[in-house]
Amino acid sequence: MGLHMHDGRTLGVDRLSSPVVQKHDDACFAVRIVIKPLLFAFYVVFAFGGLSSQQTAWQPSPGHTQVPIWPGTVPDAQPVAGPEAARTTGKEWLVAGRPAVGVRNVSQPTMTVYSPQGKNTGAAVVVFPGGGYQDLAIDLEGTEVCDWLTPKGITCVLLKYRVKDVGAYPKSGPYPESPMALEDAQRAVGLVRFHAAEWHIDPHKIGVLGFSSGGHLVAAMSTHFAKRLYPAVDAADKESCRPDFAVAIYPGHLSLSAAEWDAKQGTRKFVIHYPATADKDLGLNPDIPVTHQTPPTFLLQAEDDHVDNVNDSLAYYIALKNAGVAVEMHLYAQGGHAFGLRRTKFPITGWPQLVETWLVTIGMISE
């Protein structure tokens, strides 16, 4: 057990059984308090600002088919502002010089399976794009993940979970403010495990990976797997929906202070119960009940993330460590938010290689 610093100092590391924190900077470690309204402003830009006029329902690339995850009526159905629309950002919002595609008004969730060609490790990853529970960054934090994983022999399952844009923020939001996304995630992991033999997947090597709000969904899935939020609809819901591993990239909604902010939004107010002595910045959101059964977890965030505060990763890391969960965390001084897998001048964007190494370390894939 120990702390691994990436500025030349090493204090004993046991990657298999102990929590690992890796800081990738030479500057002072400064934890900032982020003004949460920036999260809303960020996704307003993504959803409305600088978008092309083209609006169509999202479709995967040729050769892939998205399949509805619910055989009938979705549980806890909510109204949406209009039909599903996939829109591309304009020059005002580019990542690594390229636009991104956002999907809004998702009322019929689907999953799209991207199978590896050639070698197959048996591992699979269910991907949760981010978007503040209002949109889905479907390419930046979705299909581009599958483009990375499948050549590595890993099956990628892209979940287009429900998001809506009706009513006061959070509209559709983190559990328990809204159960929709977590219901869809539970259903999807169960379906992947149910179809494991058919899809050439090892049912004991199914993980989840998400960004931003999708990173919160990763944590929610890692702690809410003992019981479905909805009545079982078929045999897939009899399968375990516990992920075997979890990857959360610049996650949000995880600290106690973030949970308090979420609870005060929208028309229905929630009360967050916590001890009077709790640390609001580094205390964990009480709706993320970490236990020793929470799966091995990889965390990554930039200290200058002004959408989701680095405290979200820190709070989750501390809780995982205290519960004896194998956890590895990488913090970088710079990088911001919503960079996906696109390489920029910031070293943090080299994170996919770190995840590959970690997957070897925990025995999900071989070198």
Q: What is the pLDDT of residue 272?
A: 83
Counted domains in the chain: 1
pLDDT above 90: percentage of residues in the chain: 73
Starting at the earlier edge strand, list the strands of the sheet with 110-114. Answer: 10-11, 3-5, 20-24, 327-332, 297-302, 245-249, 206-211, 124-128, 155-160, 110-114, 66-68
Q: What is the pLDDT of residue 37?
A: 44
Residue 106 token pair? 């998702």
Contact present, 265 and 173 (Cβ < 8 Å):
yes
* Mean pLDDT estimate for the chain: 87
pLDDT, average across residues 82-104: 94
20: confidence class by pLDDT, cuts 50, 70, 90: low
Q: What is the pLDDT of residue 35?
A: 36
Residue 177 lies in a domain: yes
Q: What is the pLDDT of residue 261?
A: 87
Q: What is the pLDDT of residue 19?
A: 56
- Among 17-31, 152-166, 250-264, the least confident range: 17-31
Q: What is the pLDDT of residue 53?
A: 44
31 or 114: which leads in pLDDT: 114
Residue 119 lies in a domain: yes
pLDDT above 70: percentage of residues in the chain: 83
72: confidence class by pLDDT, cuts 50, 70, 90: very high
1: confidence class by pLDDT, cuts 50, 70, 90: very low
Q: What is the pLDDT of residue 25?
A: 53
Contact present, 293 and 242 (Cβ < 8 Å):
yes
- Tell me the pTM: 0.89
- Residue 84: pLDDT over 70: yes
Please report, for the domain that includes residue 282, its CATH number: 3.40.50.1820
Query: Please, which residues bridge with residue 11 across strands?
Result: 3
Closest CA to 297 of 308, 286, 309, 312: 312
Distance, CA of 354 to CA of 86 (rounded, Å): 31
Omega of the bond prior to 176 within 30 degrees of 0, cis? Answer: yes
Rg (CA), the chain: 19
pLDDT, average across residues 219-224: 98
Q: What is the pLDDT of residue 170?
A: 63
Residue 366 lies in a domain: no
Q: What is the pLDDT of residue 277?
A: 84
- Among 101-115, 209-223, 258-272, the least confident range: 258-272
- Among 177-186, 272-281, 312-321, 343-352, the least confident range: 272-281
Closest CA to 24 of 53, 4, 1: 4
What are the tens digits of pLDDT across the range 53-65? 456 889 999 999 9
Residue 367 lies in a domain: no
Structural domain span for residue 94: 3-361
Give residue for tokens 């830009």.
45
Residue 318 lies in a domain: yes
Closest CA to 140 of 25, 254, 43: 43
164 or 46: which leads in pLDDT: 164
- Residue 166: pLDDT over 50: yes
pLDDT, average across residues 181-191: 98
Q: What is the pLDDT of residue 36?
A: 46
Residue 143 lies in a domain: yes
